Copies of this chain bind each other. A is one copy, B any other.
Amino acid sequence: MREEFTRHEKLSSKELSAIDVEVGKHYKPNDFGDRVAQRFIKMLRTLPDTYFGRDHYMRAVMLETIAAVPGMVGGMLRHMKSLRNMSEDHGWIIHLLHEAENERMHLMTWMKCLQPSLANRLLVLGAQGVFFNAYFWLYVFSPRIAHRMCGYLEEEAVISYTHFLDDLDAGLISNGPAPPIAIDYYNLQPGASVRDTVLAIRADEALHRDANHHFADRIAAHRENLLADVQAKAYSEEQSRRVAKSPHYTQTSLH
């Protein structure tokens, strides 16, 4: 979840609109793996495009039942790897599991707004069966391509939620009150609307987009220790603090 939603003050519609999610931001595929990932997501997108059209609530539900899978699969596989190699995970597991829970909260939110038909429920069931297995083996085979694929999935999520906003603003969908679960989760004002909810969720998706492309980049660059930067930063801050506090400060004590 974005840092904006964890502050003490409740976010207004204006503040939600002001979050820059960089709509249309796109990672240019660099190699064959990237292109496969992008092609797969473009293909996956045709399903809601042809089947749900402008039924944005159902689109969102379908999207979130899929989007909540990768974080759980990645987190689980890295947990099992940490156990069997008896080695540290360097910050991945907790991040990926939080992403999965965040996506599941998106789903829980939209479920307050509609009752999917039996046909749509069966569709979700089938999609999960295929996607879970496909993503599981992709992550085993190449975590890099898997995260790249998530990056592309989240690019589409940002676009889909932007269309949702467009249709709300065009008056094609009525802008009712936000579900209480969203007001609670995102720390929105009591009178928040569906539009505010879409803005908040879209902001999460933009964060997932950037995070997953970043993860793919780090794996490609063999810089998989996510905590290294944090630790290096904490170390250098600690050193400055010590130096500042120390009455015996000499230049060499820095080394």
Contacts and interface: CB of A to CB of B under 8 A. Distances in A.
A84 B72 contact: no
B93 A65 contact: no
A82 interface: yes
A69 interface: yes
Q: How large is the interface on A (under 10, 10 to 19, 20 to 34, 35 or more residues)?
A: 20 to 34
B61 A79 contact: no
Interface in A73-130: 76, 79-80, 82-84, 86-89, 93-94, 97, 100-101, 104, 107-108, 111, 116, 121, 124-125, 128
Nearest to A65: B83
A196 to B, nearest CB: 22
Contacts of A11: none
Contacts of A101: 79, 93-94
Interface string A140-182: 0000000000000000000000000000000000000000000
B83 A128 contact: yes
A183 interface: no
A89 B107 CA distance: 12
Q: Closest 6 CB pairs between A and B?
A: A84-B128, A65-B83, A76-B76, A72-B79, A86-B111, A84-B125
Interface of A: 61, 64-65, 68-69, 72, 76, 79-80, 82-84, 86-89, 93-94, 97, 100-101, 104, 107-108, 111, 116, 121, 124-125, 128, 132
